[in-house]
Amino acid sequence: MSKKKGWKELPFGGVIPGGGTSDAYVTGGWRTFRPVRDKAKCVNCLTCWVFCPDSAILVTVDGKHNDFDLQHCKGCGICATECPKKIQAITMVEESEFKNEGVCHAEG
């Protein structure tokens, strides 16, 4: 019977090889809800940009909310939750309303 390896002898698992690797993977197809911004209500406070865990808020060069990166947005709704309550410029809408337009699914 062979001796079990100790924790120091096991290979590393769950290692992230470097920063920015999430950009290489299309994950927007996981969404069940999509953020929709009411441009008339948006005051470009960029609170949504600060809180978005997927860096899916696209901002123009002059610092204004431009759109959502639907290739990487997972539909968590943090942007809508953090949008100031007096403004509420972002709402979450069921993805089925859009027939998944704007998302390129990875083939595999």
Q: What pLDDT, in 10s, does the model give residues 3-50?
A: 888 888 888 777 766 766 667 778 888 889 999 999 999 999 999 999
Domain boundaries, the chain: 26-97
Q: Is pLDDT of 108 > 50?
A: no
Q: Are 106 and 64 in contact (CB under 8 A)?
A: no
Model-level pTM greater than 0.75?
Answer: no
Write the CA distances from 60 to 44, 55, 71, 77, 81, integer angstroms.
Answer: 11, 14, 18, 22, 22
pLDDT at 30: 83
Domain range 26-97, its CATH number among 3.30.200.20, 3.30.70.20, 3.30.1360.20, 3.30.1540.10: 3.30.70.20
